[in-house]
């Protein structure tokens, strides 16, 4: 029953953890910017000879203005990044297309993807690409046009092409997820440069394995290199092409057990990215990206999910893909909040703390100055008081003297008469 399969556009997507955190930290940094800018403006209009602020203190606040501006820029561009790796033709591009619910990336038999392709949201409604070798925006309307643009480029396999895509069909893009497709790890000698250029800021890695074979050494070695550069990367393993198992139902359970065992060994004992086997089991999925993509394209067109012949176990595989998406979303949003915002939160606190310190020192100095001024004013007033009283005394004394003198003169005059 196709109605029972709800799409992953659930209202409460775990991606909202990141989306909300990003909005909140952006708002807070807006306030921090206002505070630092206001403080700086205030300090700059203080008279030069006021002795209230030193050059060094002014420099501290001034440098924070630039710093906050830079952090705000980084914050507005922050996103959650997931990178897909695996051998050629395991279905990396098809997995990404299924998650995006649309055939965006070229896929096909043989070696298809020949450079890194990063799909991210387009701010306007247009789809276009920008490649590393030019600043030109090339419009792309269809997957064949995109494939053509990628073929004609003379880029190496470590180069990056950014594809900007409208978000109307792709909730992941709307919620700031950026998906990076890669060429097969078995066809390139440049794995170190791949890691330097594309992996260090990834929040989640998805190894797209082929369930028709087994995990290969090339795949394992690549992830050993990744985990040597990043502490405990988040790794999911998709055993893709699991629809093939339907043709051999008698081996299905056994093959699944064997793949699971080996993959869990790899994640826990060899790569050491999961602490326990239970934790690792939550990172391994058996899916068919091709089926999911077709089902979602049908669904979008208003057709039943599975037109034509339904391969046995389709619903189970579809559910498992959705389960992967849910766990992936939880993992990526929590990890991105931690790695991207933790540092900015600490820096924001330090910036506000420094600025407040300078303003408090300034306030202290201003209060001391005012106190000193009012003290000297009080002294002058006291002195005036005293002088006035002295004057009064003197005046009284003089009056007495003059009176006496007048009396004396009067007396003498009366005698003379
Ligand atoms: P490169 O870009 O060449 O490294 O390959 P890729 O890993 O991106 O594989 P791609 O998505 O191009 O898929 C290769 C072929 O496998 C295509 O013909 C897909 O249709 C097919 N394919 C992908 N996923 C599945 C699946 O789950 N089941 C089956 N049966 N075929 C699949
Ligand atoms: Mg590909």
What pLDDT does residue 152 have?
A: 57
State yes or no: ipTM above 0.90.
yes
Over 80: is that where the pLDDT of 306 sits?
Answer: no
DSSP 8-state class, residue 338: I
Over 70: is that where the pLDDT of 10 sits?
Answer: no
Cα 180 to chain centroid distance, Å, stands at 16
- Residues around the ion ligand 2 (C-beta < 5 A): 92-93, 112-113
CA 417/CA 402 separation, integer angstroms:
22
- Mean pLDDT (the chain) is 88
Select from 87, 91, 181 the residue to mutate for testing ligand 1; criterion: most ligand atoms less than 8 Å from CB.
Answer: 91
CA 112 to ligand 1: nearest atom: 3
Alpha-carbon distances of 44 from 62, 221, 354, rounded to whole Å: 9, 57, 17
Which regions of 89-197 does DSSP assign to beta strands (E)?
Answer: 116-121, 128-131, 138-139, 160-165, 177-181
DSSP 8-state class, residue 125: S
Spacing, Cα 388 to ligand 2 middle (Å): 99
- List, as one string, the DSSP characters of 3-72: GG---S--TT-TTHHHHHHHHHHHHHHHHHHHHHHHHHHHHHTS-GGG-SS-HHHHHHHHHHHHHHHHHH
**Residue-wise pLDDT tens digits, 283-294:** 999 999 999 999
Strand order in the sheet with 235-240: 138-139, 128-131, 160-165, 116-121, 177-181, 80-85, 204-210, 235-240, 284-286
Select from 290, 292, 297 the residue to mutate for testing ligand 1; criterion: most ligand atoms less than 8 Å from CB.
Answer: 290
Residue whose Cα lies nearest atom 18 of ligand 1: it is: 108
Spacing, Cα 91 to ligand 1 middle (Å): 3
CA 128/CA 140 separation, integer angstroms:
5
Please report the sign of the dihedral spanned by the C-alpha atoms of residue 297, residue 302, residue 308, residue 311.
positive
Residue whose Cα lies nearest atom 14 of ligand 1: it is: 89
Over 50: is that where the pLDDT of 374 sits?
Answer: yes
- Comparing CA positions, the residue from 284, 272, 339 lying closest to residue 18 is 339
Q: What is the mean pLDDT of residues 154-183?
A: 89
Spacing, Cα 239 to ligand 1 middle (Å): 12
Which range (242-251, 266-275, 331-340, 356-365) has the least confidence?
Answer: 242-251
189 is written with which tokens? 């000698």
Over 90: is that where the pLDDT of 138 sits?
Answer: no
Over 90: is that where the pLDDT of 109 sits?
Answer: no
CA 218/CA 21 separation, integer angstroms:
37
CA 50/CA 47 separation, integer angstroms:
5
Q: 54: which residues sit within 8 A by CB, 6+ positions away? A: none
**Residue-wise pLDDT tens digits, 61-98:** 999 999 999 999 999 889 999 999 999 999 999 999 99
CA 318/CA 320 separation, integer angstroms:
5
Residue 25: φ, ψ to 5°: -70, -35
290 touches ligand 1 (CB under 6 Å): yes
Other C-beta atoms within 10 Å of 375: how many? 9
Residue whose Cα lies nearest atom 28 of ligand 1: it is: 241
Spacing, Cα 92 to ligand 1 middle (Å): 7
């Amino acid at each position: 029953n196709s109605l029972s399969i709800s799409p992953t556009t659930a209202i409460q997507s775990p991606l909202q953890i990141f989306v909300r955190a990003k909005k909140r930290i952006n708002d807070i940094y807006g306030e921090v910017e206002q505070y630092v800018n206001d403080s700086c403006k205030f300090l700059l209009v203080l008279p030069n000879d006021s002795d209230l602020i030193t050059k060094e203190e002014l420099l501290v606040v001034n440098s924070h203005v630039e710093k906050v501006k830079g952090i705000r820029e980084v914050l507005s561009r922050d996103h959650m990044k997931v990178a897909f790796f695996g051998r050629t033709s395991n279905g990396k591009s098809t997995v990404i297309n299924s998650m995006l619910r649309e055939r965006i990336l070229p896929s096909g038999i043989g070696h298809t993807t020949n450079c890194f392709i990063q799909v991210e949201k387009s701010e306007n409604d247009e789809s276009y690409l920008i490649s590393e070798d030019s600043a030109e925006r090339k419009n792309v309307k269809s997957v064949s046009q995109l494939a053509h643009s990628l073929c004609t480029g003379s880029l190496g396999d470590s180069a990056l092409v950014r594809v900007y895509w409208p978000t109307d069909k792709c909730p992941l893009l709307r919620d700031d997820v950026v998906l990076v497709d890669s060429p097969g790890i078995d066809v390139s000698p440049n794995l170190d440069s791949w890691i330097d250029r594309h992996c260090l800021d990834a929040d989640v890695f998805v190894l797209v394995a082929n369930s028709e074979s087994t995990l290969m050494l090339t795949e394992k070695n690549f992830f050993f290199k990744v985990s040597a550069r990043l502490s405990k990367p988040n790794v999911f393993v998709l055993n893709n092409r699991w629809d093939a198992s339907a043709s051999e139902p008698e081996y299905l359970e056994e093959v699944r057990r064997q793949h699971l065992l080996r993959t869990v060994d790899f994640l826990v004992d060899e790569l050491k990215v999961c602490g326990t086997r239970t934790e690792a089991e939550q990172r391994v999925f058996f899916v068919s990206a091709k089926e999911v993509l077709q089902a979602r394209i049908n669904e979008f067109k208003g057709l039943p999910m599975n037109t034509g012949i339904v391969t046995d176990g389709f619903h189970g595989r579809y559910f498992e893909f959705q389960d992967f998406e849910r766990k992936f979303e939880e993992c990526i949003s929590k990890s991105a909040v931690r790695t991207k915002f933790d540092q900015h939160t600490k820096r924001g606190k330090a910036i506000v703390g420094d600025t407040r310190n300078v303003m408090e020192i300034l306030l202290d100095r201003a209060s001391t100055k005012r106190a000193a001024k009012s003290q000297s004013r009080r002294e002058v007033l006291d002195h005036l008081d005293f002088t006035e009283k002295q004057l009064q005394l003197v005046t009284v004394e003089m009056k007495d003297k003059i009176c006496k003198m007048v009396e004396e003169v009067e007396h003498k005059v009366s005698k003379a008469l």
